[in-house]
Amino acid sequence: MMMKNFTLLLFIGLIFYGCEDSNINYIVHNLPNSFPIDRDYKWEYKRTEYVNKTDWENERNPDTTYFDTLHAGPSENHQYFYYGWGNPLWYSLIVKNDESVNHFISIGDYIGWLDYITMYEKPNLVSNYSSIFDTTGYFNIYNSFSSNRYIEIDTLDNIIKHSYVEIKTESEGYYEYYGESKKNLFGLEKAKFYYDRNGDGNYRYFMLEKLKEINFEAFRLERFKSKLNGKLNQIYE
| pLDDT for position 14 | 45
Kindly state the average pLDDT of the residues 144-168.
Answer: 97
- Give the pLDDT of residue 237: 67
- What is the per-residue pLDDT for 79? 84
Residue 2 belongs to a domain? no
- Is residue 151 scored above 60 in pLDDT? yes
Task: Assess whether pLDDT exceeds 50 at residue 210.
Answer: yes
Does residue 6 have a pLDDT over 50? Answer: no
Q: Give the span between the Cα atoms of 84 and 58, in whole angstroms.
A: 28
Q: Is residue 22 part of a domain?
A: no
What's the alpha-carbon Rg for the chain, to the nearest Å?
22
pLDDT band of residue 22 (cuts 50, 70, 90) is low
Alpha-carbon distance values, 173 to 176, 195, 196, 200 (Å) = 8, 13, 11, 12
Q: Is 222 within the bounds of a domain?
A: yes
Query: What's the pLDDT tens digit per position in 177-199?
Result: 999 999 999 999 999 999 998 88
| Mean pLDDT for the chain overall | 90
pLDDT bin (cut points 50, 70, 90) of residue 21 is low
Counted domains in the chain:
1
pLDDT of residue 9: 45
pLDDT given at position 167: 98
Over 90: is that where the pLDDT of 137 sits? yes
Q: Is the pLDDT of residue 228 over 80?
A: yes
Size of the chain, expressed as the number of residues it contains: 237
Region 115-124 average pLDDT: 96
Higher pLDDT, 96 or 201: 96
Residues of the domain holding 107: 27-236
Q: Are 151 and 31 in contact (CB under 8 A)?
A: yes
Say what the pLDDT of residue 234 is. Answer: 86
Reported as a pLDDT band with limits 50, 70 and 90, residue 173 is confident
Residue 19, in any domain of the structure: no
User: Which residues touch 109 (CB under 8 Å, ≥6 apart)?
Assistant: 91, 92, 93, 94, 117, 118
Q: How sure is the predictor about 133, in pLDDT bands with cuts at 50, 70 and 90?
A: very high
For residue 15, being part of any structural domain is answered with no
- Flag whether pLDDT at 166 surpasses 60: yes
pLDDT tens digits, 60-111 = 999 999 999 999 999 877 689 999 999 889 999 999 999 999 999 999 999 9
5 lies in a domain? no
Partners of 166 in beta bridges: 149, 181
pLDDT at 3: 45
Inside any domain, residue 66: yes
Q: Is residue 20 assigned to a domain?
A: no
